[in-house]
Amino acid sequence: MATFDLVVRGKLVLENEVASGEIGVKNGKVETVSRERGTLTGARELDFGASYVFPGFIDAHVHCFSNPQEGFIATSAAAAAGGVTTFFDMPYDLPHPVNHLEQFKRKVAQLEQEAMVDICLWGTIAKTGGTDQIIPLAEAGAVAFKMSTFETDAYRFPRIPDSEILKAMELIQSTGLVAAFHSENDEIIADLIAEYKKANKVYPRAHMETRPPVTETSAVLKLMEFAYWTGVKLHIVHVSHPRTIDLIKLFRNLGVHVTCETCYPYLLLDVRALDEFGPKAKNNPPLRNPEEVRGLWEHLHAGHIDMITSDHAPWGAEHKDIGKENIFLAASGLPGVEIIGPLMFDSTVAKGRLTPVQFARLMSQNPAEVFQIPGKGKIAVGYDADFAVINPEEKWTLDETKFRSRSKMSPFHGKQVQGKVVHTIVRGTTVFDGQEITVTPGFGHFVPGAAVKKSASGRM
């Protein structure tokens, strides 16, 4: 008689080791982990042979609604096909950002109708006068708060003034949640872009030249000092430059709780991709010089980077192609939730640059721990049965036209990749069988942030 709902066999990537064994799943959770095969029986049994069974990847940085045509359905299908079992959706939605309790509730309701993997939701605040929403958003289940020191859009994605940042940090500190920042100096960039436009210097590389490294490093420096005085947990999103990590290390030693992420394009591309692909390779902050990319890798190997995210931005050709003659007109950001897992596997584990255990920490365990998501991020007893299965030998060619995202614009189009996502499981249910998405919209859950659990137990 079957003891488990599901038994999964393969090379299990556990917290501290890779074991050829099997996992017994019941009611969507891992009930036992065996370091040998053939001891467990299940109503359903999946044998992945020599493929790695990773904890499902957690992508903490995704923008479903920067392009409202994308939404949860396309992005969560893309996530499932990429081995991402939980993602965190950013708050900079069109037309209205998630800076208000009512907007947050509407988004949760939509998520529950449409999600096909599990999803956490970021909150944010209005440019000014919006900090009164922080506690209500935390209590409603926001996973963390995102703000920006750069003005992408005065309403949807504003630059928050220092006075409001400081107030926000104090309030966020009281919730125990993380305050995360897009960190670029607005004044210097705006000035340089105006200068470049005036001189008609609108070639692709102008995008990098108008956002020099000092615009990132100096913005981060200020935020870390604010975090010191407020005691908030600070997270720096999409770090593009190694010096930013040097500064983060200094401030960690000075007692600031600061974590950081980089995104797969900053590790896998450099500014030459901007010359080659133009708007397709435009993101903020921009791609950097090759020696700076090498510096990021050194920090990654040294364990100074907490996680790798996609910063999935689902722009269509209509948002990108307008920048072919003038780079400043193109939207910033690349799609990535479907390809981050295999591309990072190809460049790390497949090349012997990271062990599978180190890879799982960056892609699953650390994001769950930094953002305090209990029950996710590890293959361990009591955790959700979320798995990303990668065949390490399978070679394939990345094809942007096949993306499940509405965005089919990738500088990685045509790249040979070693390591393919052959199966994705969320809470014990197959969401991707290697070919097709196997669940319908509404299967995915809203995963509330840690403040909710705290307030339920009366500690907030």
> In this chain, which stretch among 50-58, 120-128, 307-315, 423-431 interacts with Zn ion, using CB under 5 A?
307-315
CA nearest neighbour of 314 among 330, 294, 288, 334: 334
Q: How far is the CB of 312 from Zn ion (least distance, A)?
A: 8
E strands, 384-428, in order: 387-397, 416-426
Report the C-alpha gap between 402 and 410 in whole angstroms.
Answer: 11
User: Is 6 in a helix, a strand, or coil?
Assistant: strand
Q: How far is the CB of 146 from Zn ion (least distance, A)?
A: 8
Residue 184 contacts Zn ion per CB under 5 A: no
Q: Of 62 and 111, which has the nearer Cβ to Zn ion? A: 62
For 255, counting Cβ atoms within 10 Å of its Cβ (0-12 exposed, 13-18 middle, 19+ buried), the class is exposed
Q: How far is the CB of 63 from Zn ion (least distance, A)?
A: 6
Phi, psi of 61 (to 5 degrees): -145, 95
Report the C-alpha gap between 366 and 275 in whole angstroms.
Answer: 34
> In this chain, which stretch among 24-32, 151-159, 311-319, 439-447 interacts with Zn ion, using CB under 5 A?
311-319
Q: What distance lies between CA 43 and its chain's CA centroid?
A: 34
Residue 322: CA count within 13 A, CB half-sphere? 9
Q: How far is the CB of 264 from Zn ion (least distance, A)?
A: 13
> In this chain, which stretch among 52-60, 141-149, 305-313, 338-346 interacts with Zn ion, using CB under 5 A?
305-313
Q: Of 287 and 439, which has the nearer Cβ to Zn ion? A: 287
Q: Of 51 and 67, which has the nearer Cβ to Zn ion? A: 67
Q: Of 63 and 299, which has the nearer Cβ to Zn ion? A: 63
Q: How far is the CB of 25 from Zn ion (least distance, A)?
A: 33
Q: Is the peptide bond before 95 cis (omega within 30 degrees of 0)?
A: yes
Q: Of 236 and 437, which has the nearer Cβ to Zn ion? A: 236
Question: What is the layout of strands, in order, in the sheet containing 307-309?
Answer: 145-148, 178-182, 233-236, 258-263, 307-309
Q: How far is the CB of 90 from Zn ion (least distance, A)?
A: 6
Site for Zn ion in 89-108 (CB under 5 A): none
Residue 216 contacts Zn ion per CB under 5 A: no
Q: Of 12 and 160, which has the nearer Cβ to Zn ion? A: 160
The residue type at 143: V
Structure tokens at 95: 């037309």
Q: How far is the CB of 87 from Zn ion (least distance, A)?
A: 12
Please, where are the H alpha helices in 60-148?
Answer: 71-81, 101-114, 134-140
Report the C-alpha gap between 45 and 151 in whole angstroms.
Answer: 51
Residue 70 contacts Zn ion per CB under 5 A: no
Residue 261 contacts Zn ion per CB under 5 A: no
Among 311, 338, 346, 400, binds Zn ion (CB under 5 A): 311
Q: Which residue is nearest to Zn ion (CB)?
A: 311
Residues near Zn ion (CB under 5 A): 311
